[in-house]
Amino acid sequence: MKPTDDEEIRREFWVRQGRQLLAIALALFLVLLMAVVYKRHDLFGEYSKKTLMAAQLLVITAFIGFTAFNWRCPSCKKYLGKDIYKRACRHCKTRFR
């Protein structure tokens, strides 16, 4: 999809931003949940530290992969950087707000 209209580009950015915020919340929740599971065996049973660390690493790796795919400018397709509340693309100068 190659958006050309300014409103369409803004709409696509908002969708990407929403997905990114959801991914941040989900990844953070899962990583913290696994830390709690390690400390509180009575919640979901006993898991080894190695297993939970591997699961946390998997969640973090999946989050990084999703971010690399999702967090791109709708216009030029370049990575948007670390600021989640961007006003414009630093590469093509397309405005999002």
pLDDT at position 4 is 59
Which contacts (CB < 8 Å, 24+ apart) does range 32-40 have?
34/59
Q: What are the structure tokens assigned to 5, written together? A: 């209209």
| Residue type at 89 in one-letter notation | C
Rounded to two decimals, what is the model's pTM?
Answer: 0.84
pLDDT at position 23 is 98
pLDDT at position 3 is 46
d(CA 5, CA 87): 17
Per-residue pLDDT tens, the chain, 97 aa: give them: 454 588 999 999 999 999 999 999 999 999 999 999 988 888 778 889 999 999 999 999 999 999 999 999 999 999 999 999 999 999 999 999 8
pLDDT at position 1 is 45
The DSSP output letter for 64 is H
Q: Domain segments of the chain: what residues?
A: 1-97
